[in-house]
């Protein structure tokens, strides 16, 4: 009897949850607990960490999980690494739903870097208007270049003081091309910092930057351990032994 654990937190994971609910597959959806009011899911939902690999192993065993689906964000590297270890330790089949990285299109002006510190180094010394579209967890290193006028975008309002002066947009996305163009034009943005998240929910800012001829400092994804990975909900449903009725 199938009982799936979905490690979610992305738009793709929400699409998968809808398909799994529609197929009446027994499953649990898991959020990391990064936002105040995560979107509701059509499945029983848990929020928060498991307590490392051992906590996840215990969860899999106690809950009788038979299949694990890692549908977390490509930058949620620690969660993905824990999942590989815990599924090996418990002998539970694992598959990842991982969206393809964005690739540079003609007209894109990308500066590709490996991590946040390299992104800070890639910013100019001369004062610029910088849009940091990397969430709340990774902005501290930009305090090394306080000369810039920063615009940040968070899902929730900041609780603690920011490590540097910045203007904060509170918005959960997904974002549209028009709203991104409007925001960049009215704020006179001259640089954008983004993570190569892939997917559609965050891509509008990349298209807007190209149209406005703005440079994008693009942070590459962390290396993840080898595991079975697919890019579509339909392939996950097949793996679970069900036919997806996507769009039906």
215 touches, from ligand 3Y8, ligand NAP, none (C-beta below 5 to 8 Å by class) = none
* Residue whose tokens read 């090996």: 88
For ligand NAP, the closer CB: 46 or 243: 46
Distance (Å, whole) CA 166 – CA 14: 31
Interacting partner of 51 out of ligand 3Y8, ligand NAP, none (Cβ under 5 to 8 A depending on kind) = ligand NAP
Q: Which of residues 170-209 bind ligand 3Y8 (CB under 6 A)?
A: 172-175, 195, 197, 199, 201-202, 205
Distance between CA atoms of residues 206 and 37, nearest Å = 27
Residue 197 touching ligand NAP (CB under 6 A): yes
Q: Please count the other Cβ atoms lying within 10 Å of the Cβ belonging to residue 114.
A: 11
Per-residue binding string, ligand NAP, 42-81, x by CB under 6 A, is -------xxxx--xx---------------xx-xxxxx--
Asked if residue 11 lies in contact with residue 201, where contact means CB atoms within 8 angstroms, the answer is yes
Burial class (CB within 10 angstroms; exposed 0-12, middle 13-18, buried 19+) of 74: buried
Nearest residue to 217 via CA among 121, 73, 77, 76 = 121
Distance of CA 160 to the CA centre of its chain: 22
225 interacts with ligand NAP by CB under 6 A: no
Nearer to ligand NAP, 54 or 127 (CB): 54
Q: Which does 136 bind (CB under 5 to 8 A by kind): ligand NAP, ligand 3Y8, none?
A: ligand 3Y8
Residue 67 interaction partner, one of ligand 3Y8, ligand NAP, none, beta carbon < 5-8 Å per kind? none
């Amino acid at each position: 009897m199938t009982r799936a654990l979905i490690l979610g937190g992305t738009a793709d994971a929400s699409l998968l949850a809808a398909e799994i609910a529609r197929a009446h597959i027994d499953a649990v959806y898991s959020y990391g607990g990064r936002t105040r009011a995560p979107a509701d899911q059509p499945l029983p939902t848990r929020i928060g960490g498991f307590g490392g690999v051992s906590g996840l192993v215990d969860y899999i065993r106690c809950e009788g999980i038979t299949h694990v689906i890692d549908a977390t964000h490509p930058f949620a590297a620690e969660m993905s690494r824990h999942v590989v270890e815990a599924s090996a330790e418990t002998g539970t089949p694992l598959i990842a739903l991982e969206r393809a990285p964005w690739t540079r299109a003609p007209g894109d002006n990308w500066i590709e870097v490996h991590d946040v510190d390299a992104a800070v180094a890639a910013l100019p010394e001369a004062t610029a208007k910088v849009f940091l579209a990397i969430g709340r967890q990774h902005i501290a290193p930009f305090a090394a270049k306080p000369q810039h006028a920063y615009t940040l975008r968070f899902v929730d309002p900041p609780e603690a003081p920011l490590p540097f002066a910045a203007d904060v947009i509170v918005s959960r996305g997904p974002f549209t091309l028009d709203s991104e163009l409007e925001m960049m034009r009215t704020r006179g943005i001259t640089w954008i910092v983004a993570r190569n998240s892939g997917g559609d929910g965050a891509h509008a800012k990349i298209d807007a930057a190209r149209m406005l001829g703005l440079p994008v400092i693009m942070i590459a994804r962390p290396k993840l351990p080898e595991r079975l990975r697919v890019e579509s909900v339909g392939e996950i449903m097949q793996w679970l032994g069900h036919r997806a009725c996507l769009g039906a």
